[in-house]
Amino acid sequence: MAITKDIRQQVRERAKYLCEYCHSSEEASAARFEIDHIQPRSCGGADTFENLALACQRCNSYRYNFTEGTDPEYKVSTQLFNPRLHQWNEHFVWEKGGLVIRGKTSIGRATCDRLDLNDQRHNDGAIVKARRLWIQGGWHPPSNDAIES
């Protein structure tokens, strides 16, 4: 079943035009965000509204078809953040004024690691550089997100 244009728009609106994983703003991005299958189709996931999330291209490509990751603090496998089951602020917090996402829970840490939310392994910190510009422009971090200094 194909995802209709209406469903895509409903997913965008539900997410308030933020990547549901890294909370980047689609408006500040050069590319339109993608519709991600939380439970990947390759693992039996459906095209239902409840199984869809808005994801920036970066998060979508790093998440690929993974539903689990490793918590680097405790070295245990755990599920990744699921925007239909979990609240972002329960698992993540912004540090350094909004430049860096820190996982507060095993799910948060495993998601930060698997999706490389702070470019610790890739791109020489490109996402942190982009966040710095977004902060200067007043577009970041999202107003409902928790920030620690």
- Residue at 39 is within a domain: yes
Read off the pTM.
0.94
pLDDT in tens, 90-134: 999 999 999 999 999 999 999 999 999 999 886 678 899 999 999
- Residue at 143 is within a domain: no
Number of domains in the chain: 1
pLDDT in tens, 56-96: 999 999 999 999 999 999 999 999 999 999 999 999 999 99
Domain span holding position 110? 5-137
Q: What is the distance between the alpha carbons of residues 105 and 10, in angstroms, rounded to a whole number?
A: 29
- Residue at 146 is within a domain: no
- Residue at 148 is within a domain: no
- Residue at 147 is within a domain: no
Task: Name the region of 117 (left: φ>0; alpha: ψ -120 to 50; beta: rest).
Answer: alpha
